[in-house]
Amino acid sequence: MDDRELAERCLSGDQSAIRQFVERFQGLVFSVCLRQLKHREDAEDVAQQTLVRAVRHLRNWDQERPLNPWVLTIAVNRCRTHQSLRSNQSRSLDPAIDTPAPDRRPGTLDLAEELQLALGKIRDDYRTCFILFHQQELSITEVAKIMKCPEGTVKTWLHRARRELAELLIERGAVTKDGYELHRI
């Protein structure tokens, strides 16, 4: 079933279509949320909120455009809202209680784990661009629409994200300056 037919069936209240909608997008949405929020429980909550919101507001989707980026836009916006709320709550807590977990030691993780750790240390906008472009394989145009910014900004953020990630990976000893992965024995 194509996106338009699925949306029409969801809007008519067809419960099997709503289940199919959730099944179609839950993995993608959860993946984006987990990479953005870095906490499984938070990602599960925000992914669920995203899917509920997407189904509830499906009538606002422009059927001339693909459904995937529209749903991802909702996911990214929900993640931003969650991060903002979490940031505000953290500021109100006692700093002694709100201490971050210690970093894992360099040299103990594989490259994918090192990359995930490094992604958690770069600016939110850079991380979102990187995830949507490299991991979700969206175009620059789609990323720009999701992030509500010009394509040139997305290109700049991608460049800066790559540079910062490379610096972090080199700093942690995951790769060499010429880009080769260090082999762990």
Over the stretch 21-39, which tens digit does the pLDDT of each residue have? 999 999 999 999 998 888 8
At 1 the pLDDT is 84
Q: Give CA torsion, residues 103, 159, 176, 33, to 10 deg.
A: 30
Over the stretch 169-183, which tens digit does the pLDDT of each residue have? 888 887 777 766 554
For residue 170, give both structure tokens: 């080199």
At 88 the pLDDT is 65
Q: Are 164 and 158 in contact (CB under 8 A)?
A: no
Q: How many CA atoms lie within 13 A of 74 on its CB side?
A: 24
Classify 104-185 by CATH class. Answer: mainly alpha
Over the stretch 39-84, which tens digit does the pLDDT of each residue have? 899 999 999 999 999 999 999 999 988 899 999 999 999 998 998 8
Confidence of residue 107 (pLDDT cuts 50, 70, 90): low
- In this structure, what are the phi and psi dihedrals at residue 181, rounded to the nearest 5 degrees? -75, 135
Classify 1-94 by CATH class. Answer: mainly alpha
Distance CA(118)–CA(130), nearest Å, equals 12
DSSP class per residue in 118-183: HHTTS-HHHHHHHIIIIIS---HHHHHHHHTS-HHHHHHHHHHHHHHHHHHHHHTTSB-TTSPBPP
Q: How many CA atoms lie within 13 A of 20 on its CB side?
A: 15
Distance of CA 123 to the CA centre of its chain: 13
Q: Are 118 and 131 in contact (CB under 8 A)?
A: no
At 38 the pLDDT is 85
Q: Look at residue 185 and tell me whether its pLDDT is greater than 50.
A: no
Q: Comparing 84-88, 122-126, 159-163, which segment has the lowest mean pLDDT?
A: 84-88
pTM, full prediction: 0.68
What's the chain's average pLDDT? Answer: 84
List the domain boundaries for the chain.
Answer: 1-94, 104-185
Percent of the chain with pLDDT over 90: 57
The residues facing 181 across adjacent strands are 175
SS3 at position 91:
helix
Confidence of residue 96 (pLDDT cuts 50, 70, 90): very low
